[in-house]
Amino acid sequence: MGLSQDKLGLSQDKTGLLQDKIVLVNGGSQGIGAGIVRAAAREGATVAFTGRRPDAGESLAGELAAQGASAAFLRADLADPAQARGSVEQVVAAHGRIDCLVNSAGLTSRGTLLDTTPELFDAHVAINLRAPFFAMQAAVADMVARKAPGTIVNIISNCAHGGYPFLAPYSAAKAGLAGLTRNAAHAHRWDRVRVNGLNLGWTDTEGEDAIQRAFHGAGDDWREEAARAQPMGKLGQVDEIADFVVLLLSDRSGVVTGSVIDWDQIVLGGLG
């Protein structure tokens, strides 16, 4: 069954925050990335996106096209630095430029300090840190060469602050991405390239459902149980995150750069 217009978000009020912008969302075929693709398309952007599942990617591109949006799925193995750079290069070749980049691809497989293998560690670094690095490298190179402003948003995690014991390699890589976000923002602020990030907390996605079932023995009611245990009575919602990312990509976020914002219900330093 195809996604409804309401599901795609294209029936919501449009403000044109990204009108005529060329946007690439790496990791955009499902979950948070797909929500960002939908929101960017709704706000007038021409969107390209990559993902690990060609079937999901082509399906999303088709659904968006049917609603009158401009969206294209690009096949890319982001663990390969050449393909991470190539995702940007394909967009520039097709449209002459890139205005906005979102790094949303993520690997969340479990591993502790004691049981993580070098292979698992390298896999996390490849997707969660190295891929964003080289995609950013290519995007900023285009922006600087054209002497044009641009925006980048990195989807990080509250695990960048330390994380759960069973997310050791994930936390290490996401902490690196938080540092990279600030470094790139500082390095290219005079180029008018703004770079920001979101440290996401527990979010309701298809991928999280699979993780909960595979690694934590969760049943069909895990979402309801999890929501009841949260201060706001719900998990993080993809559409809310996507709208915030669009704001950060747009000119309406002003001069904000180098900010890594905690999108979570946990208040660091709070007690009780």
| pLDDT at residue 5 in the model | 37
| pLDDT at residue 243 in the model | 97
How far, in Å, CA of 269 to CA of 272, rounded?
10
Which of 255, 238, 70, 15 minimizes the C-alpha distance to 151? 255
Edge-to-edge order in the sheet of strand 70-75: 70-75, 46-51, 22-26, 100-103, 150-155, 193-200, 260-263
| pLDDT at residue 11 in the model | 42
In the chain, where are the structural domains located?
15-201+236-263
| pLDDT at residue 13 in the model | 62
List, for residues 96-144, the tens digit of each pLDDT value.
Answer: 999 999 999 999 999 999 999 999 999 999 999 999 999 999 999 999 9
- Report the C-alpha dihedral over residues 137, 139, 143, 144, rounded to 10 degrees: 10
Contact between 241 and 153 under an 8 Å Cβ cutoff? The reply is no
Out of 49, 134, 170, 263, the active site residue is 170
| pLDDT at residue 188 in the model | 98
* Long-range contacts at 62-66 (CB < 8 A, ≥ 24 apart): 63/2, 63/3, 63/8, 64/8, 64/10, 64/37, 64/38, 66/2
Residue 170 annotated to the active site: yes
List, for residues 230-253, the tens digit of each pLDDT value.
Answer: 888 988 899 999 999 999 999 999
Which of 126, 149, 147, 150 minimizes the C-alpha distance to 24? 150
Q: Which amino acid is at 180?
A: L
Contact between 24 and 139 under an 8 Å Cβ cutoff? The reply is yes
Residues of the chain with pLDDT under 50: 1-11
Token reading at 121? 């560690």
Token reading at 124? 């996390």
Q: In this structure, which CATH number among 3.90.1150.10, 3.40.50.720, 3.10.580.10, 3.40.50.1220 belongs to the domain 15-201+236-263?
A: 3.40.50.720
